[in-house]
Amino acid sequence: MTAKRVALVTGASTGIGRSVAETLARNGYVAFAGMRDPDGRNRAARDEVAGLSTAGIPIEAVALDVTDDASVAAAVATVMEKTGKIDVLLNNAGGCLMGLAECGSVELLQRLLDTHVVGTQRVCRAVLPHMRRRRTGVLAFTSSVGGRVVIPTTTLYCAAKAGMEMIAEGYKRELASFGIDVVILEPGMVHTKIFDNMWLDDDTARAAEYGALGGVARATLEMVKTMKGPPPEELADVLLRLLEMPHGQRPLRTTFGADAALADPVNAAADEATRALNALYGA
């Protein structure tokens, strides 16, 4: 078993996931950058990670598709075989959908939920038995300010992120006795390539029935492509600071960016309601 802490990051071919994996690898971790199809569509990302490893940075790409049981099981088995443990799991894989709620097909919503919600659960169930046996670990989630409030023209995406948030919040209480902390990152605008790979609502006939409103999503997408949020490396540093905090002192939710900070009052009110409900039900 390696003496260094070990981190597994899903959705780490680019953007936030890639930045987190590299940041952790440069700061005392052995990092595994999970990505779909590293021998195909993400070959370039795999090769970049391999280059870092050749330069002495302890990072390795691992094939991991959160929507596939066998892929998740194989990735976790690979990490365990090579290191004997997983100290940190960051559930980061995802996709973003823009459009009116009614105009997103059921199939598109299922795709979102299978990545953000079902996929998250799939990976957690594969990793948590190892963490619980060692009675230590940090379960982290990349959510969004949209997991707390609905961002215009991203209703279905926000619903998926909210589902992830509820899973994470439930895990925090249930895993406390095993020495496992849970943290949720809630970024606002971050400067990544996410808007180049944005999903758009796919029922254009219904969108047309909304008149001018039906075209808002596409206009908004073009607008946000020109916006410059902070780089993902800054969010990676935020997670690193959370991981360096003592066990039990890490906050459940951490917003990132001025836009995301608008959700801080929502989080504070939710924390108070959660404490009251737990007291009411004797939890």
Rg (CA), the chain: 19
Q: Determine the Cα angle at 62 with ends 76 and 129, to 5°.
A: 10
Distance CA(97)–CA(40), nearest Å, equals: 24
Residues 96 and 220 sit within 8 Å (Cβ to Cβ): no
CA 122 to chain CA mean position, Å? 13
Buried b (16+ CB within 10 A) or exposed e, 223-245: eeeeeebbebebbbebbbebbee
DSSP 8-class letter at 154: B
- Catalytic pick among 29, 157, 171, 210: 157
Q: Is 29 labeled as catalytic in the residue annotation?
A: no
Residues 7 and 24 sit within 8 Å (Cβ to Cβ): yes
**Residues with catalytic function:** 157
